[in-house]
Amino acid sequence: MSRPNITLQSLVARTPEVVGSRIEDRMALMSIRNGAYYGMDPVGSRVWELIAQPIRVSDVCESLLGEFEVERSKCEEQVLAFLLQLADAELLVVGDEQARVTSK
């Protein structure tokens, strides 16, 4: 799978092949597709909650800016990097992939 181009205008959502559980303020995930487990810190866990349904990356950042004390540029940079990590792990669907996943 090639690495997607994710921008602030990209529409993203989590893949349906992941099960997760909240443990205090963190998420523990298991990918059914690749059999791997993942742990997320509180901010990553919040991003995971926000991408439960398709959402623009810019809207994810806006939500985080309202909830955490962080500079916009730093937030955008870190959210884009985190989403690329999720995409690399096949935990994220980006843009045109949305139609393919929702039609299954």
Nearest CA to 44 out of 29, 62, 55 is that of: 29
Span 15-34, pLDDT tens digits:
988 988 898 889 999 998 88
With respect to residue 2, please indicate whether it lies within any of the assigned structural domains.
Answer: no
Task: Give the number of domains in the chain.
Answer: 1
Q: In what order do the strands lie in the sheet with 92-94?
A: 55-56, 11-14, 92-94
What was the pLDDT predicted at 103?
A: 39
Within a domain: 68 = yes
**How would you label 45-66 residue by residue, b for 16+ Cβ within 10 Å and e otherwise?**
bbbbebbeeebebeebbebbee
Structural domain includes residue 64: yes
Query: Is 3 part of any domain?
Result: no
For residue 17, being part of any structural domain is answered with: yes
Residues 2-17: tens digit of each pLDDT: 678 999 999 999 998 8
DSSP H or E segment with residue 12: strand 11-14
User: Mind listing the pLDDT tens digit for each residue in 46-81?
Assistant: 999 999 999 999 999 999 999 999 999 999 999 999
CB count in 10 Å sphere of residue 18 = 21
Q: Domain residues for 49?
A: 11-92
Q: How confident is the model at residue 95 (pLDDT cuts 50, 70, 90)?
A: confident
Q: Is 104 inside a domain boundary?
A: no
Residue 54 lies in a domain: yes
Q: Is residue 98, in this structure, part of any structural domain at all?
A: no
Q: Look up the CATH number of the domain holding residue 80.
A: 3.90.930.60
